């Protein structure tokens, strides 16, 4: 992996609002009231896209309440699947740890709005890493929280998995590095070229007891489709699309329903989308079309199931919409594009 790969500046990266709420769990764990910090965290809804440059300040405020080395490790260890949305379910539904790591890489954009991670394989190791121009430039506290969250999540899904071979941070070494090696159970290096974690090669084959092939296939299809339909670098449009996905199966995808779920007025939602050159209907149609075409390639899904997954009340409504998008009926499009 080359650390000179082009990655977006930190100012363009957004993170899942649900992840920010891990601070509430950490405060509860240590019986810290912190009303001001709690209020700051609660400003963000689970579906909000939070600028990542706001994350270091929130972490620093938390650590100031309980000073000590490696506090980011504690915070990251509180992360559960409820904090990472679809990524968490993809991990839980994976067959093995290797599949889980690749799922994270493939669909990381659903969490950060951009793809940052790189997975590489060596003769005796597998590595997941981030370039120094991306998240690593935000400092050790952010990095240790993120890596702690990732590893602790994997440990929860496969408790008997071996420890990493090494963890490397691009930040200078802290005054007391011992807590890091105790937490990760492996050598920890600092002043590295980029943020990375290396696992023994056999780690990838470790089966996950939570594997659910049916759930994983569905989430995989949703992830693929949404990755294709991501509305560029517009964080508000990305937030609207996430809410569309959440409400689609319940057939609650009207402009008014989405605005209410996001706690904004219809006019505000329309104005923000218009500033990015989008309309609500265009974003809804694009998301539905990408999902529909992904689902139609899978012969295990019937048209009635696809209709429900896309939030249409009747199959005839889905048929009309799909013809408008593609000029073809769903059945004909499926015959021409069926996966081989």
- Domain annotation covers residue 185: yes
Total domains, the chain:
2
What are the tokens at 52? 């990542």
What are the tokens at 23? 């601070």
Pairing between β-strand 195-200 and β-strand 125-130 as defined by DSSP bridges: antiparallel
Residue 223 DSSP label: H
- Domain annotation covers residue 244: yes
CATH number (domain holding residue 242)? 1.10.10.60
pLDDT at residue 4 in the model: 42
Cα Rg, the chain, nearest whole Å: 21
pLDDT at residue 147 in the model: 94
Q: Do 254 and 333 share a domain, yes or no?
A: yes
Task: Please say whether the beta carbons of 141 and 59 come within 8 A.
Answer: yes
- Domain annotation covers residue 4: no
Task: Please say whether the beta carbons of 79 and 144 come within 8 A.
Answer: no
CATH number (domain holding residue 68)? 3.90.1520
pLDDT at residue 213 in the model: 61
290 Cβ neighbours under 8 A, 6+ residues apart: 225, 226, 228, 229
Q: Which neighbouring-strand residues pair with 197? A: 128, 167
Q: Following DSSP, what letter does each residue of 105-127 receive, concatenated? A: HHHTHHHHSS---EEEE-SSEEE
Q: Do 180 and 280 share a domain, yes or no?
A: no
Q: Do 38 and 145 share a domain, yes or no?
A: yes
What are the tokens at 177? 């590095």
Interatomic CA distance for residues 117 and 124, integer angstroms? 20
Q: Do 241 and 176 share a domain, yes or no?
A: no
Which of 154, 178, 205 is the C-terminal boundary of a domain?
205
pLDDT at residue 182 in the model: 94
- Domain annotation covers residue 20: yes
- Domain annotation covers residue 1: no
Q: Burial-class residue 100 by CB neighbours within 10 Å (0-12, 13-18, 19+).
A: buried
Q: Do 188 and 223 share a domain, yes or no?
A: no
- Domain annotation covers residue 2: no
Q: Which neighbouring-strand residues pair with 166? A: 198
298 Cβ neighbours under 8 A, 6+ residues apart: 217, 221, 339
Q: How many CB atoms lie within 10 A of CB 312?
A: 21
Interatomic CA distance for residues 98 and 91, integer angstroms? 10
Q: Burial-class residue 139 by CB neighbours within 10 Å (0-12, 13-18, 19+).
A: middle
Q: Do 235 and 168 share a domain, yes or no?
A: no
Q: Do 194 and 93 share a domain, yes or no?
A: yes
Please report, for residues 202, 224, 243, 263, 280, the alpha-carbon distance to residue 47 in angstroms, rounded to integers and kept in the order given: 36, 19, 7, 11, 17
Interatomic CA distance for residues 191 and 136, integer angstroms? 11
Task: Please say whether the beta carbons of 282 and 237 come within 8 A.
Answer: no
Whole-model pTM: value is 0.65
Which of 205, 226, 250 is the C-terminal boundary of a domain?
205
- Domain annotation covers residue 263: yes
Which of 170, 205, 240 is the C-terminal boundary of a domain?
205
Interatomic CA distance for residues 181 and 96, integer angstroms? 25
- Domain annotation covers residue 330: yes
Interatomic CA distance for residues 317 and 315, integer angstroms? 5
Q: Do 163 and 232 share a domain, yes or no?
A: no
pLDDT at residue 112 in the model: 73
pLDDT at residue 218 in the model: 62
- Range of 235's domain? 213-337
Q: Do 221 and 191 share a domain, yes or no?
A: no
Q: Do 273 and 225 share a domain, yes or no?
A: yes
Pairing between β-strand 49-51 and β-strand 118-121 as defined by DSSP bridges: unpaired
Per-block average pLDDT, block size 10, for the chain (340 residues)? 51 80 95 95 82 93 94 93 68 76 71 76 88 63 93 82 92 93 95 93 80 60 60 72 76 87 91 89 89 80 78 88 94 80
Q: Which neighbouring-strand residues pair with 128? A: 119, 197
Classify 80 in phi/psi space as left (phi over 0), alpha (psi -120 to 50) or beta.
beta
Q: Do 127 and 195 share a domain, yes or no?
A: yes
Q: Do 180 and 271 share a domain, yes or no?
A: no
């Amino acid at each position: 992996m080359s650390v000179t790969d082009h990655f977006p500046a930190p100012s363009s990266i957004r993170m899942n609002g649900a992840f920010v709420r891990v601070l509430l769990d950490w405060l509860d764990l240590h019986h810290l009231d912190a009303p001001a910090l709690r209020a700051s965290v609660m400003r963000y809804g689970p579906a909000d896209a939070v600028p990542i440059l706001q994350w270091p300040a929130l972490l620093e405020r938390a650590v100031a309440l309980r000073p000590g080395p490696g506090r980011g490790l504690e915070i990251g260890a509180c992360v559960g699947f409820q904090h990472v949305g679809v990524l968490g379910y993809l991990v839980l539904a994976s067959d093995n740890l290797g599949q889980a790591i690749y799922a994270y890489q493939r669909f990381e954009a659903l969490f950060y709005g951009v793809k940052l991670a790189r997975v590489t394989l060596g003769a005796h190791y597998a590595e997941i890493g981030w370039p120094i121009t991306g998240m690593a430039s935000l400092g050790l506290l952010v990095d240790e929280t993120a890596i702690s969250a990732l590893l602790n999540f994997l440990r929860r899904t496969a408790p008997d998995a071996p420890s990493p071979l090494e963890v490397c941070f691009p930040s200078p070494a802290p005054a007391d590095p011992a807590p890091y090696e105790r937490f990760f159970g492996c050598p920890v290096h600092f002043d590295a070229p980029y943020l990375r974690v290396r696992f023994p090669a056999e780690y990838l084959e470790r089966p996950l007891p939570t594997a659910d092939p049916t759930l994983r296939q569905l989430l995989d299809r949703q992830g693929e489709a949404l990755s294709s339909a991501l509305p560029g670098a517009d964080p508000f449009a990305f937030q609207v699309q996430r809410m569309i996905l959440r409400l689609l199966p319940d057939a609650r995808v009207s402009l008014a329903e989405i605005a209410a779920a996001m706690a904004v007025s219809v006019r505000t939602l329309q104005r923000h989308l218009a500033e990015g050159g989008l309309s609500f209907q265009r974003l809804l149609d694009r998301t539905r079309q990408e999902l529909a075409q992904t689902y139609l390639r899978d012969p295990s899904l019937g048209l009635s199931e696809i209709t429900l997954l896309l939030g249409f009340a009747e199959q005839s409504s889905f048929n009309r919409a799909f013809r408008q998008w593609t000029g073809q009926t769903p059945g004909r499009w499926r015959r021409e594009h069926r996966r081989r």
